Amino acid sequence: MEQEVYKPKLRITTLSENGTPLSDRLVDAYTEMNSGPKVQHNGPIRVEVTLTNKQDIDNFKEYLDRLSGTLPAKAPNVGRGRPAGSTTKELESPREDILADVEKRALVSLDGAVDYSLRDKVHDGKLYVDQGIIAGCAGGGYENICAAANILKGASIGSDEFTLSVYPASTPIYVELARNGRLADLMETGAIVKTAFCGPCFGAGDTPANNAFSIRHSTRNFPNREGSKLQNGQISSVALMDARSIAATAANKGYLTAATDMDVEFTGPAYHFDSSIYANRVFDSKGVADPEQEIQFGPNIKDWPEMVALPENLIIKVVSEIHDPVTTTDELIPSGETSSFRSNPLGLAEFALSRKDPAYVGRAKEVQKAEKAREAGQCMGEALPELRDIMHKIKETYDVHKSNVGVGSTIFAVKPGDGSAREQAASCQKVLGGWANIANEYATKRYRSNLINWGMLPFIIDKGELPFENGDYIFIPEIQDAIKNKVSTIKAFVVNKDMKEFELKLDELTDDERQIILDGCLINYYRENK
């Protein structure tokens, strides 16, 4: 057996004046001590290190001498518990004004669709939590779970409504927790430890009950992700919290508790990665493919529908208008119940905007009938009768016909694309016939890039009153030439009884991005440039 090489680690935690951790770094001890402290913090610092020989100790002494320059001349009296001068009521009683403000904001966001309350979670002056989750690539890290085990050792989460679930971030972490006993420490308290799983982060694992309040150290939390189904009158609340405070709350049987209020010694056992876990299970072809091996497809794995290149001109119908300050990718395509359709583009698209605008899918598919007819060489007006008047009005000024104009849908949102990196937020619109998004700005570069990769135009419109509304048709002449010639200001018309001109903008596009849009999507781009 190959002998493991031990690499000393050094943990540096900066603290506030009252002892609250501000930052936490786990670094290679040799590198840190040789290069000197990188922490510039004029306050208390906690350093944890494991050394193997006398030379290490001498080096560490020199490191501490350099580190001391970042400390105050006189160390304050720092404790791990209650800040000096605070009262019991300030810390143990929840702020009713904060809870009331959250309720008020939620009711506005929810359009009064459900009854929502947090203040009913206050029991005897303490805020009660229904569920604690430590999960995900971040929350389920080895150090987090070990710290939670330290806090919970010898405690009980109680037999009331409160539950605690812990998801290690990987199987090797799970195995190491089992070997060093931390797994047993957690399970003895009543906590449930589960296998590594993305579910709690995207809303498919430990979904909180109706009216429940869940605290989670997971990657993300977005509106309506964790169990809320407003169309059924259901709502749950989720707050993001650090793993240690979740464990402290569990040790206090569900009553919200900060980790800094716990008197705990964190042992921080070393982590030993066992590569055999993957070697024993994961197939490695060594770079040589087996042409005889067939890929197995289940009944819910479908091919992507064919996508055509950008036509010379575009007619797009506005099929959803969203005026929320920010629209998340989770609202554009929800997680949770959609997970089984991720390899079924058309099946997944049926859920697009289902939590924000349930009528969107039907409207988009109705417009798509015209484009499908065009691509089949059939009459667009027969497939979508309302298009006849639109085409007639456009033809008074422009020479358009089924061979040079495409028909599709678009949505307007103030600032779409915040949240997780799921490309399905764009692809679902595309397979439903979407040709563009119109926004005041895009929340993330990533979402804008996803639109482009699916051949959708990421239009920008100036803030203020919109020249169009939901249900209007927009004609964009010579859009193909505009993309080719790198035109940034795009002429467009709202078409009804007349044609009202307005401007759309395209922020800077790379040459590759322009070609992807012209080709119709990234799939076509790769096919054409292979």
The residue among 62 and 326 whose pLDDT is bigger is: 326
**Mean pLDDT in residue range 522-530:** 89
pLDDT band, very low/low/confident/very high, at 211 (cuts 50, 70, 90): confident
Q: Which residue has the higher pLDDT, 458 or 74?
A: 458
Does 296 have pLDDT greater than 90?
Answer: no
pLDDT in tens, 176-191: 999 999 999 999 999 9
Residue 48: the pLDDT is 78
pLDDT class for 165, splitting at 50, 70, 90? Answer: very high
Residue 53's φ and ψ, nearest 5 degrees, are -155, 175
Written as one letter, the residue type at 160 is D
Structure-block tokens of residue 501: 């001109």
pLDDT of residue 363: 97
CATH number of 118-273: 3.30.499.10
* Closest listed residue to residue 220, CA positions, set 419, 67, 478, 486: 419
Closest to 519 measured CA to CA, from 303, 307, 305, 304:
307
Distance CA 334, CA 357 (A): 12
**CA proximity to 432, closest of 347, 529, 338:** 347
Between residues 293 and 470, the one the model is more confident about: 470
Q: Could you tell me if 15 and 46 are in contact, meaning their C-beta atoms sit under 8 angstroms apart?
A: yes
- The string of DSSP letters for 143-206 reads HHHHHHHHHHTT----SSS-EEEE--SSHHHHHHHHHTTHHHHHHTTT-EE----SHHHHT-SS
Q: Quick one: pLDDT at residue 318?
A: 98
Residue 73 has pLDDT above 50, yes or no: no
Q: Which DSSP letter does residue 69 get? A: G
Specify the pLDDT at position 221: 59
User: pTM for the full model?
Assistant: 0.63
> Mean pLDDT over residues 229-242, rounded?
81
Confidence of residue 519 (pLDDT cuts 50, 70, 90): very high
Alpha-carbon span 53 to 488, nearest angstrom: 65
pLDDT of residue 387: 96
Q: What is the pLDDT of residue 85?
A: 41
pLDDT at 157: 95
Coarse DSSP helix, strand, coil percentages of the chain, rounded to the nearest 5 percent? 35, 20, 50
Residues 6+ apart with CB under 8 A from 124: none
Q: Is CATH 3.90.1170.50 the classification given to domain 313-528?
A: no
Token pair 């000197």 is found at 36
Question: What would the mean pLDDT of 56-74 be, rounded to a whole number?
Answer: 67
Q: What percent of the chain has pLDDT over 90?
A: 56
Q: Is the pLDDT of residue 170 over 90?
A: yes
Expressed in angstroms, the distance from the first to the final Cα of the chain is 46
Residues 249, 130: Cα–Cα separation, whole Å = 10
Quote the pLDDT of residue 81.
Answer: 38
CA pair distance 450, 427, nearest whole angstrom: 8
Pairwise CA distance, residues 200 & 164, whole Å: 12
Distance in angstroms (rounded) separating the CA atoms of residues 236 and 230: 10
* Strand residues in 204-298 grouped as ranges (E): 213-217, 237-240
What pLDDT is attached to residue 268?
A: 82
Least confident piece of the model among 35-39, 207-211, 511-515? 35-39
Instruction: Output the six-digit token pair for 351.
Output: 């859920």
Mean pLDDT taken over the chain: 86
Query: At residue 74, does pLDDT exceed 70?
Result: no
Kind plus residue range of the DSSP H or E element containing 406: strand 405-413
Give the confidence band of 298 by pLDDT, cuts at 50, 70, 90: confident
| Intervals of CATH 3.30.499.10 along the chain | 118-273
Most confident region among 245-249, 269-273, 326-330 by mean pLDDT: 245-249
Distance CA 146, CA 152 (A): 10
pLDDT tops 50 at residue 84: no
pLDDT of residue 79: 34
Checking if the pLDDT of 6 tops 70, the result is no
Q: 76 falls in which pLDDT band (50, 70, 90)?
A: very low
More confident residue, 16 or 304: 304
- Is the pLDDT at 441 greater than 70? The verdict is yes
User: What mean pLDDT is predicted for residues 6-35?
Assistant: 71
Task: Return residue ranges of the chain for CATH 3.20.19.10.
Answer: 313-528
pLDDT at 110 over 80: no
Lowest-confidence region among 159-163, 286-290, 404-408: 286-290
Say which residue, 28 or 331, is predicted with more confidence: 331
